[in-house]
Amino acid sequence: MLTSDVKKKLYDLTTEDIVSLVRQVATDRRLTGSDFKDLKPGPRHLPGRKEENIQALSGWYNTHQVDTHSKDHDVKLRQARSRMVVQVFEEKLTEISKQRDKVIFERAKGRTQSSKSSHYYKPTRDDVEVSVWQERDRLHIGVDYKHGKMPASPLVKRDIADWWDDDASQMFEDGFFKRMGPMGEKDPKFVNSVIEYCEQMGILRK
């Protein structure tokens, strides 16, 4: 069975991440094609749905769990091979998870002011407002100074942070921003989630 740590890492990945993971494992020089005979469908033909991918990987992973009590020589050889498969899989999973965490962290920071202006003129939630612009497949989320709250300095820009298109959509997918309800950009849960993450990332001063 998948351990809770492995399962959590898998579910934190996107479908593209999981396909990339399987390809990296499948091309690792320590493994051979026979190591993937129980992965259905195979590494090159995983479906585009995340849940199905994880179920396929779970079944394959489980076939490589070993019975450590066996004393049979052939079984021990298979066990050693399975341990290698699991080791490679978990190594690659950890690498991709770290890469994914880095992408999420950078995405969450948005586009901030220069370090100098941010240091001297870092606003609070009372100084800013959240705006949303949508048109067809375009999406923009911005955090800007409220009218009359912007410091009178050439070092400070009105727009404090923003996310465009795929980056903006991914913020919802990653759970950083709450989905907007009927109130749209005025939805208090959505607005508060954007403000809270700006505070957590140091874009706004608490």
Name the most confidently modeled range: 21-30, 104-113, 188-197: 188-197
Instruction: State residue 115's pLDDT score.
Output: 40
Three-state SS for the chain is: CCCHHHHHHHHHCCHHHHHHHHHHHHCCCCCCHHHHCCCCCCHHHCCCCHHHHHHHHHHHHHCCCCCCCCCCHHHHHHHHHHHHHHHHHHHHHHHHHHHHHHHHHHHHHCCCCCHHHHHHCCCCHHHEEEEEEEECCEEEEEEEECCCCCCCCCCCCCEEEEEEHHHHHHHHHCCCCCCCCCCHHHCHHHHHHHHHHHHHCCCCCC
Mean pLDDT, all residues of the chain: 77
* pLDDT at residue 118 tops 50: no
Quick check: pTM over 0.75? no
Work out the pLDDT band at 113, boundaries 50, 70, 90: very low
Can you give the residue ranges of every domain in the chain?
Answer: 4-108, 110-200
Higher pLDDT, 161 or 53: 161
The C-alpha atoms of residue 11 and residue 196 are separated, in whole angstroms, by 24
Higher pLDDT, 20 or 140: 140
**Residues 108/201, Cβ–Cβ less than 8 Å:** yes
Instruction: State residue 190's pLDDT score.
Output: 94
| Structure token digits, residue 180 | 């907007």
Alpha-carbon distances of 20 from 6, 46, 137, 187, 202, rounded to whole Å: 16, 11, 26, 36, 32
Work out the pLDDT band at 83, boundaries 50, 70, 90: confident
Instruction: Give burial (CB, 10 Å; 0-12/13-18/19+) of 33.
Output: exposed
Instruction: State residue 192's pLDDT score.
Output: 95
Instruction: State residue 100's pLDDT score.
Output: 75
